[in-house]
Amino acid sequence: MSLLLLQAQQFRNFAELSLQPHPQFNLLVGENGSGKTSLLEAIYYLAHGRSFRTSRHQRLIQHDEPAFVLHAKVSSAEQVHSIGIQRERTADLQLRLNGSAQCRLADIAELLPVQLLTPDSFKLFFGGPKERRQFFDMGVFHVEQHFFAVWLQFSRVLKQRNALLKQSRQYNQQFEYWDAQFVQLAWQLQALRQHYISLLQNAFAALTDQDSLLSTVSLQLYAGWPEKLKTSAELQELLSQSFQQDLRLGFTQYGPQKADLRLRSAGHSVEEVLSRGQLKVLLFALKVAQNNLIAGSGLKQPILLIDDLASELDPGSTKKIFDFLTNINSQVFITAINADQVTPFIAADCRQVFHVEHGQITSTDR
d(CA 174, CA 163): 12
Task: Give residue 14's identity as a one-letter amino acid code.
Answer: F
What is the SS3 assignment for 228?
coil
Which class is 144-275 in CATH?
Answer: mainly alpha
So what's the pLDDT on residue 366?
57
Q: Where in the chain is the domain with CATH 3.40.50.300?
A: 1-113+300-366
So what's the pLDDT on residue 77? 76
Mention the CATH class of domain 1-113+300-366.
Answer: alpha beta
Q: Which residues of the chain have pLDDT under 70?
A: 1, 365-366
Question: Are the CB atoms for 353 and 27 separated by under 8 Å?
Answer: yes
CA distance 115 to 43: 10
Half-sphere exposure of 55 (CA within 13 A, CB side): 0
Long-range contacts of 92-99 (CB under 8 A, 24+ apart): 93/49
State the alpha helices, DSSP H only, in the chain.
36-48, 105-111, 123-126, 129-143, 147-165, 173-208, 232-241, 243-249, 270-273, 276-296, 315-325
Binding residues for ATP: 30-37
Binding residues: 30-37
Is there a contact between 34 and 10 (Cβ–Cβ < 8 Å)? Answer: no
Nearest-angstrom CA–CA distance, 141 and 348: 34
Residue ranges of the chain that CATH labels 1.20.1050.90: 144-275
Tell me the HSE value of 340 on the side-chain side, using a 13 A CA sphere. Answer: 0
Residue 1 confidence (pLDDT): 58
Q: What is the pLDDT of residue 308?
A: 87
